[in-house]
């Protein structure tokens, strides 16, 4: 087995779990937020900077790497770790989400998905077997089965058919995937916002005995309350001795609420994307650095933060860099936002350990969102 | 006096000098290449990265900082060093070059230059006295007098009038500049490609007794041979106990030829600009990383280089980052090119010390340019 999940402690107040995930490239403390490196680079960052902020695992995207530079090239380079100079764990998604997001540019059949590249319009075909081939070539520690992420809203029949095909594809992935000693294949629970479909999906996937499970099809446009409701009934269906990964979630409230509902792993482009747009997550909520009120603000982005950016630069300087369209703006803002989420999850782990997760949640929310979410 | 130039050794074969420039923020070994941080940031780089590659002094641009974020704001921030988190020496240009480059957007009089901002069209007036005010507020260790950089080609009468006004402006700068204990004001020798005008300019500026001298109006479109010819007769006119700075020059051949002709300091945006366009300077000449032949090239950018980029990444990965328009591409390529020039100047200093500068020049040129420049 490529990975092993070690359950350290269950929260007394909530469904939260403290754990350790042992992988071929090291041990990950969970719950964890995983920075996203779509094209074999976490945008604007070096691997050393990610390590300095205690990033333990990063995610990369199969769809993008398959199209450019190509998985065969990455394999020739010695695999994704070596190609991008990152020696800690990596997780690759399956490309399913990206392919299905192509809309008119893709056609689904039982066999797989035919689609056109968003880069050059060239035609491609991805099947569960082909995706396993690609993810094996990339060589991430944790890889995802090829799934369909149903849109939201979608009617019951569509979601049911899609979920059942995703389960059949999960089985085909498992049957064709051979590199089980070095890589762990996760199944992805689908079923939209329908409880019985989530139950069916979870049950059938658990029978296939994957080393870990993702929860897909959330954070796709539904309300956060609905997402939490789905998590409420979905995570208890998953085995306690396996890690649970909620895909595409990265806002501080959703991370904490996800942990409370028993999720161990999260990923999202949110921190780096809003950073490049000049928005910082701080202990007192989001701030848009271009705001005129920061023109002569010679205090750090977040007075309670100890990241490289907050230790060395002022809001006035960050605003100047952003207005002047300087690359250093993206760097310093991304550094801060990633540190913020990674550090948030560290605090969450400490709170679980000390049986005060709900107190931590309430204090954090009061400062970050004001009273609105309490 | 804010600075002191210490002449360590004169080359036996050429006009090259080995020296040390003592400034309020530390000692600079000369000859030196200065990375350019136009808008209070060397594009794509942090101060720590510049220190790691042994950058000893950087340049920043008065025109740009005056317009954005404004010199008063920088002063409020505690000066440019503190604003941008750089505690080593800084040199600011005078804004003359940028203002005169505005063409139809500026009008010159004896009093100064009226111009429109390239950012928002707002109207401004810069005079020698005003520029001293601005450069004092920015607080660089070395500052430039406000000059006119005559275009090339230009007729004798225009260049003569322009040079004589530049000299009068240099005197006005000197007369109005008060912060001489903390900042060193350089005079700028002009005179285009005319020997008698260069002689007149140098003579009159030397009489004004500046702590250092720049050579302006070169690298403006003339051939390199013509530039070297102007240097041949200009540098000997400057005092041996003062530093000499050739503005806007950064190609490896021009750096070495400039040193041979007695220049101590150079600056140019070339290494960072071409880096962002995917071009690297290597010990075997320039390479364009987008070239298809690097697709599966798993060797470093420059096999003879020990910079961060060359120690950790392959040409194939760098090509991928460039094609994918990733910020890390600009970072890694800029890191390499800056290191390349800084390291080149270190080798030049060693060659002067060991009386083998011409041998070094010939060997370097043979590898970098092939036989063409020998």
Average pLDDT over residues B267-281: 98
For residue B296, which residues of chain A lie inside 8 Å, CB to CB? 73, 76
For residue B316, which residues of chain A lie inside 8 Å, CB to CB? 69, 73, 77, 83
Cβ of B85 and A312 within 8 Å? yes
Q: How many CB atoms lie within 10 A of CB A1?
A: 8
Binding-site entries of A: 93-97, 147, 190, 217, 305, 307, 310, 336
pLDDT over 90, % of chain B: 96
8 Å CB contact between B83 and A317:
yes
Cα distance between residue B310 and residue A25, in whole Å: 24
- Least CB–CB distance from B327: residue in A296, A316, A327: A327
Greater pLDDT, B105 or B320: B320
Average pLDDT over residues A118-127: 96
Cα distance between residue B151 and residue A308, in whole Å: 44
Place of tokens 């900042």: B183
Cβ of B326 and A39 within 8 Å? yes
For residue A40, which residues of chain B lie inside 8 Å, CB to CB? 317, 320
pLDDT of residue B371: 55
8 Å CB contact between A345 and A318:
no
Tens digit of each residue's pLDDT (9 = 90 or more) over B150-181: 999 999 999 999 999 999 999 999 999 999 99
Tens digit of each residue's pLDDT (9 = 90 or more) over A192-247: 999 999 999 999 999 999 999 999 999 999 999 999 999 999 999 999 999 999 99
pLDDT of residue B342: 98
Q: How many CB atoms lie within 10 A of CB A241?
A: 11
Distance of CA B252 to the CA centre of its chain: 13
**Residue B40 sits at the chain A interface (C-beta within 8 Å):** yes
Cβ of B327 and A328 within 8 Å? no
Half-sphere exposure of A311 (CA within 13 A, CB side): 5
Binding-site entries of A for Zn(2+): 305, 307, 310, 336
Alpha helices, H only, B208-326: 224-234, 252-260, 270-276, 308-312, 315-323
* Residue of chain A with shortest Cα separation from B68: A320
**Residue B118 sits at the chain A interface (C-beta within 8 Å):** no
* Mean predicted lDDT score pLDDT of chain B: 97
pLDDT of residue B372: 52
pLDDT of residue A371: 55
* Residue of chain A with shortest Cα separation from B42: A328
Tens digit of each residue's pLDDT (9 = 90 or more) over B11-43: 999 999 999 999 999 999 999 999 999 999 999
Average pLDDT over residues B129-142: 98
Residue ranges of A 320-339 with Cβ closer than 8 A to chain B: 320-321, 323-324, 326-328, 330-331
Place of tokens 């530049």: B166
* Mean predicted lDDT score pLDDT of chain A: 97
pLDDT of residue A369: 87
pLDDT of residue B1: 84
Instruction: Judge whether A196 counts as a catalytic residue.
Output: no
Average pLDDT over residues A144-157: 96
Tens digit of each residue's pLDDT (9 = 90 or more) over A74-114: 999 999 999 999 999 999 999 999 998 998 899 999 999 99
- Least CB–CB distance from A327: residue in B43, B316, B321: B43
**Residue B293 sits at the chain A interface (C-beta within 8 Å):** no
For residue A44, which residues of chain B lie inside 8 Å, CB to CB? 327-328, 331
Write out the E strands in chain B. 4-10, 17-23, 26-30, 32-34, 58-60, 90-92, 106-108, 113-116, 123-126, 142-144, 184-189, 212-215, 244-246, 265-267, 279-282, 285-288
Tens digit of each residue's pLDDT (9 = 90 or more) over A255-264: 999 999 999 9
Average pLDDT over residues A318-324: 98
Cβ of A44 and B320 within 8 Å? no
Catalytic residue positions of B? 93, 267
pLDDT of residue A372: 52
**Residue A178 sits at the chain B interface (C-beta within 8 Å):** no
pLDDT of residue B355: 96
Grade residue B369 by pLDDT with cuts at 50, 70 and 90. Answer: confident
Cα distance between residue B266 and residue B214, in whole Å: 10
Tens digit of each residue's pLDDT (9 = 90 or more) over B107-134: 999 999 999 999 999 999 999 999 999 9
- Least CB–CB distance from A326: residue in B43, B319, B323: B43
Task: Indicate which residue of A141, A264, A267, A302 is catalytic.
Answer: A267
- Least CB–CB distance from B69: residue in A320, A328, A330: A320
Binding-site entries of A for substrate: 93-97, 147, 190, 217
Given a cut of 80, whether residue A170 has pLDDT beyond it is: yes
- Least CB–CB distance from B39: residue in A69, A78, A324: A324
Place of tokens 């058919």: A161
Which residue of A75, A292, A328 to mutate against B (max B Cβ within 10 Å)?
A328
Average pLDDT over residues A166-190: 98
Given a cut of 60, whether residue A374 has pLDDT beyond it is: no
* Residue of chain A with shortest Cα separation from B314: A83
Grade residue A373 by pLDDT with cuts at 50, 70 and 90. Answer: very low
Given a cut of 80, whether residue B305 has pLDDT beyond it is: yes
Rounded to 5°, angle at Cα A363 from A361 and A369:
85
Phi and psi torsions of A60, nearest 5°: -135, 165
């Amino acid at each position: 087995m490529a990975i092993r999940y070690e359950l350290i402690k269950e929260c007394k107040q909530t469904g939260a779990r403290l754990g350790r995930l042992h992988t071929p490239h090291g041990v990950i403390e969970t719950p964890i937020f995983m920075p996203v490196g779509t094209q074999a680079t976490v945008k604007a960052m070096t691997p050393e900077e990610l390590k300095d902020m205690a990033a333990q695992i990063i995610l990369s995207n199969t769809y993008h790497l398959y199209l450019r530079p190509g998985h065969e090239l990455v394999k020739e380079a010695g695999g994704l770790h070596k190609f991008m100079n990152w020696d800690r764990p990596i997780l690759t998604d399956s490309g399913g989400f990206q392919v299905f997001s192509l809309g008119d540019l893709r056609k689904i059949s039982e066999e797989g998905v035919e689609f056109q590249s968003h880069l050059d319009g060239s035609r491609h075909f991805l099947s569960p077997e082909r995706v396993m081939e690609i993810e094996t070539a990339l060589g991430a520690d944790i890889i995802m089965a090829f799934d369909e992420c149903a849109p939201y809203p979608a009617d019951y029949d569509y979601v049911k058919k899609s979920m059942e095909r995703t389960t059949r594809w999960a089985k085909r992935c498992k049957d064709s995937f051979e590199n089980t000693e070095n890589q762990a294949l996760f199944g992805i629970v689908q079923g939209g916002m329908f409880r019985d479909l989530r139950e069916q999906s979870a049950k059938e996937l658990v029978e296939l005995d994957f080393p870990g499970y993702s929860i897909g099809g959330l954070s796709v446009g539904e309300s956060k309350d609905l997402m939490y409701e789905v998590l409420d009934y979905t995570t208890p269906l998953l085995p306690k001795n396996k890690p649970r990964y909620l895909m595409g979630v990265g806002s501080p409230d959703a991370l904490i609420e996800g942990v409370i509902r028993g999720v161990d792993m999260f990923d999202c482009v949110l921190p780096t994307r809003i950073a490049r747009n000049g928005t910082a997550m701080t202990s007192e909520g989001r701030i848009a650095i271009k705001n005129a009120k920061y023109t002569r603000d010679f205090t750090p982005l977040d007075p309670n933060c100890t990241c490289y950016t907050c230790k060395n630069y002022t809001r006035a300087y960050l605003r100047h860099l952003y207005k002047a369209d300087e690359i250093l703006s993206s760097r310093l803002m991304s550094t801060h936002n990633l540190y913020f989420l990674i550090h948030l999850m560290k605090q969450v782990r400490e709170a679980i350990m000390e049986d005060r997760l709900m107190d931590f949640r309430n204090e954090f929310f009061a400062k970050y969102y004001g009273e609105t979410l309490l």
